[in-house]
């Protein structure tokens, strides 16, 4: 488990914002410098990681300030009697003032530098400290850097990355050709989005946040935050004893075209088990069931009947909807309703191909929530899936602004964005969620929370976290992610919600 899951929610800053923080801090910063502080705290962690190992430490120092951090780490490890081998890929004359001073201090302490990796296998080292490239990297790694990263990743030696694994883009989490696969990453001042989404979680290992003595939030208000358990704790009040089913709202689920009735049923079951009072499932298909034998509490209707209901607390449009003319009419009708609306799956695909639906969405006065996966997001933004994945935070924010909605861009490190320009990145979840029906369950959980009175934007963060946390619980129970089903996630999410609200 990462340090980044602690509560209250940790702030997230993009690389440009980190540079602003550094500039603001420098105005009143007392010695030691930020580089010295970063190197010292990383050296402390390195000592913990190597424990009693007598094997030497390999420090890879790059041509910029990340390399300067590496020199500080190397010097402090040497001063505590560790054998340290430093490989420096840069030119002393081209280093910044701080990095140059760190290089000189390393040499003055008796340290030496090499220009190539020493051992083809690197197996003789107890720890590798990755200080090649930091948050400023924009180009793809190639040549000797690509070779070095490949050898480090194939060595089997534990890697500690400084600030961010080399080759990982700090804002997007995409791999720039090659990227170090670290077992631990010590990131400085605050979290960066790329650590938490796309390829970041696969490259970072356990994340350790070190603020270097700065109060980042006092210096610069963050636009991003980690979504963790705190998103769930206060999402709903405790239920009064004097309650009835009408107290907890009515959810309408519209979808379930021919051959896809299961999607609507999964969403309806999730809304029910996460606490909504009544669930109406409206089917588009003529072969729709009259009874859910596994969940007979659901009230099954034709889609037009559900869309005509006046007492719905929330409408979920999309699970198994299809892109037929009838489905288009359902989305058009749903967008016109003055009630909270969750749009998923084919409801999003229809909006992506019909400009009039987009305008209806933008003109809504009631809350709107979109839950696209990357391909659906690409259709809504009229771009490519690769472009969306290339900068997930920017894509989610663009969707929220364009559609005047709250948005959950699903995937590793789901990004939850608001039209105000704020965003969160979720830390829960595992590969078991890559399974049929998981998106339907998420939309049902969300609809159930909103129906009970949760504010839609907050409900979205809570639903995303619960969804992933339920999968994490099942991962523990089953010993891995293989074979997790959407129905199981619903039941696990119910347990976690109850424990969060009533656990004390």
pLDDT at 56: 94
Average pLDDT over residues 490-499: 97
Cβ atoms within 10 A of the Cβ of 33, count? 18
Q: In DSSP terms, which residues pair with 87 in a beta bridge? A: 60, 114
Architecture of the domain defined by 230-502: 3-Layer(aba) Sandwich (3.40)
Read off the pTM.
0.95
pLDDT at 251: 98
Q: How confident is the model at residue 4 (pLDDT cuts 50, 70, 90)?
A: very low
- Which CATH superfamily hosts domain 3-222? YjeF N-terminal domain (3.40.50.10260)
475-483: list long-range contacts, CB under 8 Å, 24+ apart. Answer: 475/430, 475/432, 480/432, 481/430, 481/431, 481/432, 482/432, 483/432
Chain centre to alpha carbon of residue 188: 19
Q: How confident is the model at residue 440 (pLDDT cuts 50, 70, 90)?
A: very high
pLDDT at 7: 54
Average pLDDT over residues 466-495: 98
Per residue in 364-387, pLDDT (tens digit) is 999 999 999 999 999 999 999 999
pLDDT at 6: 41
**Residues across the chain:** 504
Residue 403, CB-side half-sphere exposure with 13 Å CA sphere: 35
For the chain, what percent of residues have pLDDT higher than 70? 98
Higher pLDDT, 51 or 149: 149
pLDDT at 504: 64
pLDDT at 136: 94
Q: How confident is the model at residue 286 (pLDDT cuts 50, 70, 90)?
A: confident
pLDDT at 503: 85
User: Domain spans of the chain?
Assistant: 3-222, 230-502
Ordered strands of the 314-317 beta sheet = 11-12, 224-227, 423-426, 415-417, 406-409, 368-370, 341-343, 314-317, 250-255, 278-283, 299-302
pLDDT at 5: 41
pLDDT at 299: 97
Per residue in 165-184, pLDDT (tens digit) is 999 999 999 999 999 999 99
CA distances from 405 to 79, 227, 367, 491 (A): 55, 18, 7, 28
Q: How confident is the model at residue 3 (pLDDT cuts 50, 70, 90)?
A: very low
Rounded CA-CA distance 402/251 in Å is: 26
Average pLDDT over residues 393-413: 98
What are 345's two structure tokens?
Answer: 């799956």
Per residue in 469-479, pLDDT (tens digit) is 999 999 999 99
- For residue 1, pLDDT beyond 70: no
Q: Which of 416, 470, 463 is nearest to 443 (CA)?
A: 463
Give the chain's mean pLDDT: 95
What are 101's two structure tokens?
Answer: 């001073």
pLDDT at 8: 73
What are 221's two structure tokens?
Answer: 């208000």
Per residue in 223-262, pLDDT (tens digit) is 999 999 999 999 999 999 999 999 999 999 999 999 999 9
Query: What is the residue whose two structure tokens read 């889609």?
Result: 303
pLDDT at 154: 95
Residue 359, CB-side half-sphere exposure with 13 Å CA sphere: 3
Per residue in 185-227, pLDDT (tens digit) is 999 999 999 999 999 999 999 999 999 999 999 999 999 999 9
């Amino acid at each position: 488990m990462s340090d980044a899951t602690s509560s209250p929610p940790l702030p997230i800053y993009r690389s440009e914002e980190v540079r602003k923080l550094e500039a603001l801090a420098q105005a009143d910063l007392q010695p030691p410098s930020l580089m010295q502080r970063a190197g010292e705290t990383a050296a402390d962690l390195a000592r913990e990681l190597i424990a009693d190992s007598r094997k030497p430490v390999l420090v890879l120092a790059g041509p910029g300030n990340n390399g300067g951090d590496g020199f500080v780490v190397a010097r402090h490890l040497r001063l505590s009697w560790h054998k340290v081998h430093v490989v420096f890929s840069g030119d002393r004359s081209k280093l910044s003032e701080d990095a140059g001073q760190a290089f000189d201090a390393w040499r003055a302490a008796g340290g030496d530098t090499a220009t190539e990796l020493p051992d083809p296998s690197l197996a003789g080292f107890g720890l590798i400290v990755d200080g090649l490239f930091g948050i400023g990297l924009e180009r793809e790694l190639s040549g000797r850097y690509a070779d070095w990263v490949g050898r480090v990743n194939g060595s089997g030696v534990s890697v500690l990355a400084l600030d961010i694994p080399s080759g990982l883009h700090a804002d997007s989490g995409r791999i720039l050709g090659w990227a170090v696969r670290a077992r631990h990453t010590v990131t400085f001042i605050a979290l960066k989005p790329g650590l938490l989404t796309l390829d970041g979680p696969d490259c970072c290992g356990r994340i350790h946040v070190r603020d270097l003595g700065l109060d980042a939030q006092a210096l610069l208000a963050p636009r991003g935050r980690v979504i963790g358990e705190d998103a769930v704790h206060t999402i709903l009040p405790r239920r009064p004893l004097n309650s009835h089913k009408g107290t907890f709202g009515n959810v309408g689920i519209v979808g379930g075209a021919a051959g896809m009735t299961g999607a609507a049923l999964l969403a309806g079951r999730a809304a029910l088990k996460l606490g909504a009072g009544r669930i109406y499932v409206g089917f588009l298909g003529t072969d729709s069931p009259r009874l859910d034998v596994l969940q007979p509490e659901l009230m099954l209707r034709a889609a037009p009947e559900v869309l005509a209901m006046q007492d719905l607390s929330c409408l979920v449009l999309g699970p198994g909807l299809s892109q037929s003319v009838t489905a288009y009419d359902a989305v058009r009708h749903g967008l016109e309703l003055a009630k909270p609306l969750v749009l998923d799956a084919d409801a999003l695909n229809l909006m992506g191909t019909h400009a009039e639906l987009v305008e209806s969405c933008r003109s809504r006065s009631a809350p709107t929530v979109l839950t696209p996966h990357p391909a659906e997001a690409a259709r809504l933004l009229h771009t490519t899936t690769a472009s969306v994945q290339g900068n997930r935070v920017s894509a989610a924010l663009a969707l929220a602004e364009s559609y005047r909605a709250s948005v959950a861009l699903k995937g590793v490190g789901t990004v939850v964005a608001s039209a105000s320009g704020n965003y969160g990145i979720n830390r829960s979840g595992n590969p078991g969620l890559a399974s049929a029906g998981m998106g339907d369950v998420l939309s049902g959980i969300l609809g159930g929370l909103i129906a009970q009175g949760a504010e839609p934007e907050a409900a979205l963060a809570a639903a995303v976290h619960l969804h992933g946390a339920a999968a994490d619980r099942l991962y523990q129970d089953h010993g891995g992610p293989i074979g997790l089903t959407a129905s199981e996630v619903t039941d696990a999410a119910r347990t976690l919600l109850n424990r969060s609200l009533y656990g004390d």
